[in-house]
Homo-oligomer: A and B are copies of this chain.
Amino acid sequence: MIKAKIIGASGYGGIGVAELLLSHPEAEIVALVGVDPVNVPISDVYPHLSGYLDMPILAADDPKAQVDADVVFMATPDRVGMQLAQSELDKGAKVIDFSGDFRFNTPDAYCDYATRIGLAPDHLAPTLLSDSVYGLTELHRDALKAGPSVVGNPGCFAVSCLLGLAPAVAAKLVTPDSIICDCKTGVSGAGKKASAAFHFPARHENMNAYRLSGHQHVCEIEHELNLLSGTAFNVTFTAQVVPMTRGIMTTLYGTLSDTYTEADVLDIYKKHYANDPFVRVFPSDAGIGTAHVRGSNRCLLMVSVDERTHRLRIVSHIDNLMKGQAGSAVQNMNVLFGCPETMGLDRPGNYP
């Protein structure tokens, strides 16, 4: 059994991993670490877990939290994982971090990211970066199989954009300067912390764009597109919130570099993802929405070509808490530890 410790257990990222590991045949939870509250059963905070998971949430420095683990999920904010990772590695664990701390392989790339979004520019564990891998499994499966020490679990918007763009960018279907990512997310993407912006009456029957001057996920999108194509990409990215709990729908636009029909593109996309169990490709008239990925680790892509304007348009659907976060993390764990990639994740959600 893979022994798993979850740091940041009481947030939505942590609870998502916990739910998945409860039905994972090869993993078991050995410790839960959090900040507020501590020393209460997690099922007091999340009563749906009552009887399924009643372990206490421990403070990070609680001796009981120092238990041996094979994998540590760090569902923590930026700049926390980089401070905690080394001590977990020293105890023999692999680390899967949910923040931006390990999404870039070099201190310079991290510095670029951190600077853009107003964080301190220095990485506090720079020596770990060279043995970290960006954890979008579909893009870095081989590197993950090699068993890096640290995985930088991707941002939820980035997952939706990169899975939608990767085949087009790899096949050079679109021109580099033409890409627009119009992203719409449910509210759980903002996490568990209450705030005026996510107070129910302020959010219900409301949609809005935010952080138009720059969102923290843009950097990793451009970085990965560059890796895929060998070309410098600058994308226009718009983050928007809609009154749902779960789900990201991203509409991706790019100018076609040549004449392609929808059938051509559909074929390229299906071939690209032929061996990716969680990505499925549909034509433009399929009746697909985010409801069809809710509670599932899948990404559903709709492919469309607007022949009048010579544009490729991809509509990408994920559950932001699954493929956008905890599901990807468990998928990465499976690859790291040699389990079948779909283990514990191979279920449709509940509909409706």
Residues on A facing B (Cβ under 8 Å): 12, 15-16, 19, 22-23, 46-53, 177, 180, 182, 184, 186-188, 192-209, 212-213, 234-236, 238, 240, 242-247, 249, 251, 253, 280, 282, 284-296, 300, 302, 304, 306, 308-309, 311, 313, 315, 317, 321, 347-352
Question: What is the oligomeric copy number?
Answer: 4
Most buried by B among A15, A47, A200, A247: A200
Taking the closest CB of chain B, its distance from the CB of A150, in whole angstroms, is 27
A212 contact set on B, CB distance < 8 A: 284-285, 302, 304, 306, 313, 315
Taking the closest CB of chain B, its distance from the CB of A290, in whole angstroms, is 5
Taking the closest CB of chain B, its distance from the CB of A96, in whole angstroms, is 19
A196 contact set on B, CB distance < 8 A: 192, 194
A308 contact set on B, CB distance < 8 A: 234, 236
Interface pair B348/A48, CB less than 8 Å apart: yes
Interface pair A205/B207, CB less than 8 Å apart: no
A236 contact set on B, CB distance < 8 A: 253, 306, 308-309, 311, 313
21 example contacts (A-B, Cβ-Cβ < 8 A) are as follows A47-B287, A51-B280, A177-B309, A180-B253, A180-B311, A184-B184, A184-B242, A187-B200, A192-B199, A192-B201, A200-B203, A204-B245, A205-B247, A206-B289, A206-B291, A207-B247, A212-B313, A234-B309, A238-B251, A242-B243, A246-B350
Given contacts A48-B348, A182-B251, A240-B251, 11 further A-B contacts (CB under 8 A): A19-B348, A192-B201, A200-B245, A204-B243, A207-B244, A209-B251, A212-B302, A234-B308, A238-B251, A242-B242, A321-B350
Interface pair A350/B19, CB less than 8 Å apart: yes
CA of A219 to CA of B315 in the docked complex: distance in angstroms?
A: 23
For A203, the closest partner residue in chain B by CB is: B200
